[in-house]
Amino acid sequence: MKRIYIYIAVALMALLGSCGKEAPFSDDSSAESKGKGQIRKSALGIEVRDEERLQTRAGESVNLDDFKISFTRKGASTPSEVYTYGEMPDIVTLERGTYTVRAEYGEDNDGVWDAPYYMGESEEFSILAGKITDDIGDIVCRLQNVKVSIVFAPVLTEMMSDDSYVEVGVTNGQTLKFTKQHELNGNSGYFRHVDGVSLVATFNGEIEGLKTVLTKSYATVQKGYHYKITFKLNTQSSDNTGGLEGGLDVDASVTVTDVERNVDVEEDEPLDDNERPKETPEDPETPENPDWNGPTVTPEAPLEIPGLDDPKPVDGVLSLSCSLDIPVDNPDVNVVLKFESQKGFDEFYADIVSPNLTDEELESVGLASHLDLVNPGELEEPLTSLGLPCNIGGEKNVKFDISRFMFMLAIFGPNSHEFVIHAKDADGETVVTLKLNFK
C-alpha cells in the first residue's frame, strides 16, 4: 500500500544563550524557579499524516509555524501555556506536574471551504522541579473533519446552466454550494464530524432548459476521509425517474478515500431520499458474536501455529505461540506471519527476547529490543532495510517478515530467541510468541 507522510521532525537542541524567550535552569536556580520545570521546544515533533496534501495546490500547504501548541496540566480545564509553533520559545517554563501537549492546525468549523482541521496530542509526561524535559516523542496530527469535493462529468458540464450547483451537507445542518467554478478552482469543503451523520448531496440546475433536482445520501461518513462525488449525465430508458424528459438523467457516485493513505476504500451505496438511514435501538437480547473479531494471523510455511482453528481469547486478548527449528549452518529460512485486521491496526510492535541480542548489541546495529511498527521513530530506516513495514497504523494487512534476522541470530550459534508480536485493533489484541531454536 502506497504511504507517503508529511513528516516534520523538530530535532535541533536549543542552545544556552540562544534567541529563545526563556533560558534553561542554571546550577544556582533562583527561588523564583522553585516548584517549576522546563521543556525544550526540541522535545516535541509534529507528524502530519495526510498524503493527499502532497497533491493539493501550493497555497494549501501546511505550515509548521501555524500550529497552535497547548500545554495542559492534568486535571486542568484550560491550558497552562499556548503558543503558535513559530512563536514558541526554545525553553518553556511550567509548574511541576503531569502534562499533555496538543498540536492543532485550523479550527473545527461547520461547513467551510479549503479549511482542514488537524489535531494530535502527546502522551502524558512529567515536568519536574528544576529539571529540563528534552524528549516527549512525536505528536501525530490527523485530519479531524470530513473532506468533500464535487466533480461534474464533461458532458454534464457542457449541458447544464452556469447557475447550476450541488448543495452538500451533513445531517446535522452544515451545507455548502458547489458550482462549476468551485470544481475548476479545485475547492474542497470541510465539515465538522459528528458520529452517525450522513452526507447529503443535492443537484439543482437546468440541463438544456429542463429543471432537475437530484438528491443522494451516503450513510455514516467518517472523519479523516475524502468523499469525492461525481455527477454525470446518463441516457435512460423510457421509465426515466431522474427528473428530466427526453431520456436524460443525472446520476451520482462517490469515491471514498482515506486521506492518510490516499487509497480508495469501499464506498457506501448511495441512497435515495426515502432510503436515508434511520437510527434503530440496539436489541439488548442480541447475543454477542462468539467468533474472534480481533486481528488474525496466518503463518507461511514452514511456520505452523496451533490453535488457529479454535481461538480462545481471554479478556479481549488472543494469545498464540509457535516455534521453529533452524539449522545454524543454513539459516536461510522463511519466517513470515501475515496479520489481518477488519478495523485497521491501532498498535503493532514486537519485543525481542534473546540472551545474545541485548539492548547494547542491538543498539550497535541501529536497532532496539522494542520494535514499534506503528511509530518506529529513528528505527524506521533500519527496520525497512530488514524488510519490515513501518508506519502501519490503520492498515488492515501486514506482512511480518523477519527472515533476514535469521542470519544475524545464526552468528551466535546454538541458542533460542523469541519475538513477541502484539497486533491490536478496536476489536481486540492478538499476541504471538514466536520461538526460534537454532541447532
Average pLDDT, 10 consecutive residues per value, the chain (439 residues): 29 31 51 76 88 52 87 96 95 96 93 93 94 91 93 91 93 86 92 88 90 87 90 60 52 84 51 41 39 90 88 88 91 92 93 85 83 90 86 92 87 90 93 93
Q: What is the structure's pLDDT at 258?
A: 81
Q: What is the structure's pLDDT at 272?
A: 46
Q: What is the structure's pLDDT at 21?
A: 46
Q: What is the structure's pLDDT at 63?
A: 82
Q: What is the structure's pLDDT at 422?
A: 94
Q: What is the structure's pLDDT at 316?
A: 87
Sign of the dihedral defined by the CA atoms of residues 317, 323, 329, 334, in that order = negative
Global pTM reads: 0.54
Whether 166 contacts 201, CB under 8 Å: yes
Q: What is the structure's pLDDT at 286?
A: 34
Element (H, E) at 405: helix 405-410
Q: What is the structure's pLDDT at 23?
A: 57
For residue 394, is it left (φ>0), alpha (ψ between -120 and 50) or beta?
A: left
Bridge-based pairing of strands 263-265 and 317-326 is unpaired
Amino acid found at 216: K
Q: What is the structure's pLDDT at 349?
A: 94
Cβ atoms within 10 Å, residue 208: 13
- DSSP helix/strand/coil, 273: helix
Whether 184 contacts 162, CB under 8 Å: no
